[in-house]
Amino acid sequence: MLYIIGLGLGDEKDITIRGLEAIRSCTNVYMEAYTSLLSFGLSSNGLSNLESLYGKSIILADREMVEEKSDDILSEAHHSHVAFLVVGDPFGATTHTDLVVRAKKLGIDVKIVHNVSVMNAIGICGLQLYRYGETVSIPFFTDTWRPDSFYEKIQTNRNMGLHTLCLLDIRVKEPTLESLARGRKIYEPPRYMTINTAIEQLLEIEQARQESAYGEDTECVGFARLGSEDQMIVAGTMKQLQTIDFGAPLHCLVITGKTHPLEEEMLDFYRCRT
């Protein structure tokens, strides 16, 4: 059996009872370590907290292991129970869907244990989940690569009065271009996009496109460390949110569409007063 188990967003205690029972039945336990992170990160202390509560040793699975060596994980699942742990919900990233498809094609039984993810936890700000349009990802710009494919999606959502969840880039164990050219991988330090950087890039694209999809005065909601004890939620204009220090990752941003009076009442609790 291959178990794919959601861990939630906060810390090791967010595991469900069903998920905990599944982990304890497994021979090997892997934890995906590149599409997200728990609020306490993946430091030695954080990992030891997980292992202590779950009663199992955990193997950190980076992008290379999951995308290039997943055959080893699937091979183990042929003859024993294997757990693959995912921050948030198992289907919050397409990589995990690919793992399920490959396992099923090999005749391996797969069991999914769901948990909370950013896709529903954002409901805490009061914006109603059924009034969201397509979610977009905002990648880090480089000197030579400044993609803007998300712009049309935000524009379409706002034209329909819908809110837009913007997932912000995470760069973990990314090889440098120089090292790839030399055939020996050297990795960049981890980087997690902030709300401030995301807004700066969004406004740069708007300045270039001049199509009024949004602007400095567009209302947004910024979230940091969603689901943790020290989560931070601030509603305000893009210009206002740019001045706020949201602290440690992970961050995400919602660009609001047309709001209902009840949504406005809830947003007032988080409104930036500066």
Kindly report the CA angle at 183 between 177 and 184, in degrees rounded to 5?
85
Listed residues 88, 116, 144: the one ending a domain: 116
Q: Considering the domain boundaries, does residue 274 fall inside one?
A: no
Strand partners of residue 253: 166, 222
Centroid of chain to Cα 39: 12
According to the per-residue pLDDT averaged within each range, which of 68-77, 173-182, 185-194 is highest?
Answer: 68-77
pLDDT at 32: 84
Q: 9 labelled as ligand-binding?
A: yes
User: Could you tell me if 60 and 156 lie in one domain?
Assistant: no
Asked whether residue 145 is assigned to any structural domain, the reply reads: yes
- Residue 201 forms part of a structural domain: yes
Question: What beta strand segments (E) does the chain contain?
Answer: 2-6, 28-32, 59-61, 82-86, 110-113, 136-138, 164-168, 170-171, 191-192, 219-224, 232-237, 251-255
In this prediction, residue 48 carries a pLDDT of 80
State both tokens at 174.
């990314």
Same domain, 125 and 202: yes
The answer to whether 118 is a known ligand-binding residue is yes
Model's pTM, two decimal places? Answer: 0.89
What's the pLDDT tens digit per position in 6-57? 999 988 899 999 999 999 999 999 998 766 666 555 444 557 888 899 999 9
Using the predicted structure, report yes or no on whether residue 143 has a pLDDT greater than 60: yes
Is it the case that residue 273 has pLDDT exceeding 90? no
d(C-alpha 63, C-alpha 228), whole Å = 25
One domain for residues 55 and 111? yes
Q: Mean per-residue pLDDT for 98-117? A: 94
Is 42 marked within a binding site?
no
Taking phi over 0 as left and psi of -120 to 50 as alpha, with beta for the rest, 135 belongs to beta
Question: Please, where are the H alpha helices in 140-226?
Answer: 149-159, 177-182, 195-209
Q: Is 87 annotated as a binding residue?
A: no
Per-residue model confidence as pLDDT tens digits over 222-262: 999 999 999 999 999 999 999 999 999 999 999 999 999 99
Would you tell me how many other CB atoms lie within 10 Å of the CB of residue 160? 11
Total domains present in the chain: 2
25 and 103 belong to one structural domain: yes
Query: Left (φ > 0), alpha (ψ -120 to 50) or beta: where does 153 sit?
Result: alpha
Full domain range(s) for residue 139: 119-269
One domain, residues 81 and 123: no
87, pLDDT greater than 60: yes
Together in a domain, 82 and 135: no
Band (pLDDT 50/70/90 cuts) for residue 213 is: very high
User: Would you place residue 117 in the very low, low, confident or very high pLDDT band (cuts 50, 70, 90)?
Assistant: very high
Residues 69 and 11 in one domain: yes
Question: Binding site annotation covers 79?
Answer: no
Residue 41 marked ligand-binding: no
Same domain, 233 and 184: yes
How high is the pLDDT of residue 156? Answer: 98
To the question of whether residue 251 is assigned a binding role by annotation, the answer is yes
Considering the domain boundaries, does residue 244 fall inside one?
yes
- 226 in a labelled binding site: yes
